[in-house]
Chain A
Amino acid sequence: EIQLVESGGGLVQPGGSLRLSCAASGFTFSAYYMDWVRQAPGKGLEWVGRSTNKANGYTTEYAASVKGRFTISRDDSENSLYLQMNSLKTEDTAVYYCARGVTGIMNRWFDPWGQGTLVTVSS
């Protein structure tokens, strides 16, 4: 069974840092792009960023709202994806999902998604 499980969420003060993890199983992790998506309470989905795979140099892309503060990394030997979040703001409060990204010439999608982990930024 293909599965993604996030962990590391919690309560952090503004200006603080947090590192989220996403453990993957059931597929060849190293072959896939991986993405982070967040959802603020009662709001819609917002793409956070992406890590490409080894074949594409593990390059990363970020949303403007997090660029320079968040860093995505991965450890293919551990089948794990990470999101290092620094200089956190109250507006970063959200459920954070990791998702497997499929990026073909025509066929592109996010599937599956993890169950999400809640990050609350508050004093």
Chain B
Amino acid sequence: DIQLTQSPSFLSASVGDRVTITCRASQGISSHLAWYQQKPGKAPKLLIFAASTLQSGVPSRFSGSGSGTEFTLTITSLQPEDFATYYCQQLNSYPLTFGGGAKVEIK
């Protein structure tokens, strides 16, 4: 099974900050990686697919990069509505797996 390790698992940041979350895969997954945002009590929301393609309607302050085993999600100029938990997901092979999550909280 492919393990995804997200870091940090928790970060405290201020509005306007630049935030970077890393997702490392235990083996190569090409660019078959998606990022989701989840707020408390809500379903996850797709942000980025194919490692770097922004889903329609997602603000351009979100971006993704990487391929193979190392990926990053960057939020430039953090907004109040961005405080949430972020998950990466590999869709390269079964079983599909998610990272453990990265919770972004207000400093």
Contact = CB atoms under 8 A, between A and B. Distances in A.
Interface of A: 35, 37, 44-47, 50, 61-64, 97, 102-103, 106-116
A45 B87 contact: yes
Main secondary structure of the interface of B (DSSP, over half): loop
Given A46-B98, A47-B96, A113 B49 contact: no
13 contacts: A37-B98, A44-B98, A45-B36, A45-B87, A45-B98, A47-B97, A50-B96, A64-B1, A106-B50, A108-B34, A109-B46, A111-B55, A113-B44
Contacts of A115: 43
Contact of B53 (A50, A61, A107): A107
B26 to A, nearest CB: 16
Interface in B44-73: 44-46, 49-50, 53, 55
Contacts of B91: 103, 108-109
Contacts of A116: 43
Nearest to A61: B94
Given A35-B96, A44-B99, 19 more contacts: A37-B44, A44-B87, A45-B38, A45-B87, A47-B89, A61-B94, A61-B95, A62-B95, A63-B95, A64-B1, A97-B44, A106-B32, A109-B46, A109-B91, A110-B34, A110-B44, A110-B89, A112-B43, A114-B43
Interface residues of B, number: 26
A110 to B, nearest CB: 7
Nearest to A116: B43
Given A44-B87, A45-B87, A110 B97 contact: no
A52 to B, nearest CB: 11
Contacts of B30: 106
A110 B95 contact: no
